[in-house]
Amino acid sequence: MQKLIAAILKDCKILFRDKAGLAVMFAMPILLVVVISSIQNSSFKLVNENKVPMFLVNNDGQAVSLQFIEGLKQIGMFEIFQNDTVVNRADVSKVMYEKDAMVAVVIPKGFSENISAKASKITSEALQALGMASEESETKVSTIKQVPALEMVYNPVMEESFRLSVIGALQSTQQFTENKQVLQALYKQLSNKKLPDSLEQKILASKSQIEQFPVAKDGSRAIPNTSQHNVPAWTIFAMFFIVVTLSTNIVKEKVSGSFIRLKTLPTNYAILLLAKQITFVLVTMLQALVIFSIGYYVFPHIGLPALNFPTNKTGLVLVTFFCGWSAVSYGLLVGVFSKTMEQAIGFGAVSVVILAAIGGVIVPAFAMPETLKLLMKISPLHWCIESYYVFFLQNGSVKNMIMSIFPLLLFIIAMQIVSWAKLKKENFV
C-alpha cells in the first residue's frame, strides 16, 4: 500500500508540473462548455422564445390578405416588418439581408379575390349536396380560378426542420383564413345576413386544448434545460481528452528509458500502472466536479440556465467514476501501443473527436443516419452520455443506468486486457 501511495504522489507531482496538460484537462473544457452552451441556448431561445424576423410584401392589399397578415401576427412566432413597394424577388432578397430576416413572404395580387372565390365555390358545392343551391351558384362553381400560391423566400442557412415549421405556420394561417371566408359565405347564403362577429369568434376560436407534461422515470415533471444536455456531454468530451496527457506520459517513460529503470525497482510495474490509473481517474472526477460546479454556480450569472443536479447523487458519482475509468483505460491503451509522443498526441486527439462525433456528443443521436447509429454503439462516449442522461434528463435510479454502464464496463475490461497483454509481451509486467 505504501508503494501504491508513493506512486500516486509521484504521478500527481508530474501532473501538476505539466502546465499545458492541465490547460488541456481543465481550462479548455471549461471554455468549451461555456461557449457551446451559450450558442445552443441562443438557438433554443430562437426556436422557443424569440420571434423569427419575417419580411412581408403584400401585393394584394385587400381585406382577406390583411386578415391573413393578422393571423400570422396572432401566431406569435414571427416579428413581421412590411414593405409593399418591393416588386421583384431580387429586391426581396436584398431587403432580407439588410434587415437580417430569416424568411420573406410575398402575397400575390389577386390573393383576396381568389380566396373569396374559393370560399364561394365550397359554399355552392355544400349547398348543392344539401339540395339547396340556386342556378346562379351552380354556374359559379365552374368559373372559379385556382388560388395563387404564396411565395416564401428563405435564408439558405435555415435548417430544414425549422423551415418546415415556418411552412406549417403559413399553411395553417392560410387555411384558417380560407375557413373564415367559407363560414361567412355559407352563413350569408343561408340567412342572407352577415355573420355576427361574436358568433364568428366563438366558432373559430373553439380549439381543443392540449396539455403537455414531460415525465421522467421517477414521475417528476421538471423540464430539462439546455445545460442539462450540454454540460454532461462536454464534460465527457473533456474526460476523454485526458487520453492525450496520459498516453504521452506513458510514451515519455518508454522513450526516456524510465521503463527500464522502473523494472529495477523492488516492486511490480503493475503497481505503478495502477497508481497512474487511480491518479487520472481522480483527475477526471475532479474535472466533472469543476465543470458541474460552473454549470450550477456560474451559468446563472452569465445569462445561461443553471445546471440542475439530479436527486440521485450516488448514481451521479458512480457514472462519473465509470466514465473517467473508461477514458483512462483508453488512454492506457493508446500510450502502451504508441511508439512516439507524436503518435500518442495525434491518434489520441483525433480518435476522441471521432468517437465523440459518432457517439452523439457533437451530433445528436436522433440526427444521425441509420448506418452511423449502428457505429454509435461502439463508442464509449455514447454509453457515457446515455448514463448521464438517465440522471440529468430522466431523473432515474442506479437500476435504470445499468444497461448503459454494462457496455462501458465491457469496454474498460477489453482496454485493460489488451494493454496488459501488450505490456506482458514486452516483458514490462
For the chain, the distance separating the N- and C-terminal CA atoms, rounded to the nearest angstrom, is 18
Number of domains in the chain: 2
Please tell me the pTM assigned to this model.
Answer: 0.69
Cα dihedral 375/380/384/386 (nearest 10): 20
Q: Which pLDDT belongs to residue 20?
A: 76
36 and 59 share a domain? Answer: no
Query: Does 317 share its domain with 335?
Result: yes
Q: What range defines the domain where residue 142 resides?
A: 48-204
Residues 115 and 14 in one domain: no
Residues 103, 164 share a domain: yes
Q: Where a domain ends, among 169, 204, 239?
A: 204
Same-domain check for residues 59 and 31? no
CB 154 within 8 A of CB 103: yes
Instruction: Kindly report the CATH number assigned to the domain that includes residue 63.
Output: 3.40.1710
Which pairing describes strands 78-82 and 103-107: parallel, antiparallel, or unpaired? unpaired
52's grid cell = 423569427
Q: Are residues 26 and 127 in the same domain?
A: no
Asked if the structure places residue 219 within a domain, the reply is: no
Say whether both 305 and 347 belong to one domain.
Answer: yes
Closest-CA residue to 296 (of 392, 398, 223, 176): 392
Quick check: is 378 in a domain? yes
- Count other Cβ atoms within 10 Å, centred on residue 192: 7
Q: Indicate whether 402 belongs to any domain.
A: yes
Distance between CA atoms of residues 64 and 29, nearest Å = 55
Smallest CA-to-CA distance from 163 within 84, 85, 47 is with 47
Residue 417 placed within a domain: yes
Residue 211 lies in a domain: no
pLDDT of residue 326: 95
3-class state of residue 419 by DSSP: helix
Rounded to 5°, angle at Cα 13 from 11 and 14: 65
**Separation between Cα atoms, residue 66 and residue 155, nearest integer Å:** 25
Give CA separation, 136 vs 131, 178, 184, 312, in Å: 14, 22, 18, 74
pLDDT value at residue 334: 94
Per-residue model confidence (pLDDT) at position 142: 45
34 and 59 in a single domain? The answer is: no
Query: Which backbone phi and psi does 53 adopt, to 5 degrees?
Result: -65, 125
Tell me whether residue 314 is in a domain: yes
Shared-domain flag, residues 189 and 230:
no
pLDDT score at 407: 92
Q: Do 134 and 26 share a structural domain?
A: no
Whether 357 maps to a domain, the answer reads: yes
Instruction: Kindly state whether residues 54 and 70 are assigned to the same domain.
Output: yes
Confirm whether 210 is domain-assigned. no
| Residue 237 cell numbers, joined | 468530451
Q: Report the DSSP beta bridge partners of residue 153.
A: 104
Residues 193 and 324 in one domain: no
- Walk along the chain (429 residues) and give the pLDDT tens digit of each residue: 777 888 788 778 877 887 777 777 888 888 888 888 887 776 666 555 567 888 888 888 888 889 889 888 888 888 888 877 776 777 888 888 777 788 889 888 888 888 888 877 877 777 777 666 555 555 454 455 565 678 888 887 777 777 888 899 898 888 888 888 887 777 777 776 776 766 666 666 655 666 666 665 555 555 667 788 888 988 999 899 889 888 888 888 777 766 666 666 666 777 878 888 999 999 999 999 999 999 999 999 988 888 888 888 888 999 999 999 999 999 999 999 998 889 999 999 999 999 988 888 877 776 677 777 788 888 999 999 989 988 888 877 888 888 889 999 999 999 999 999 988 887 766
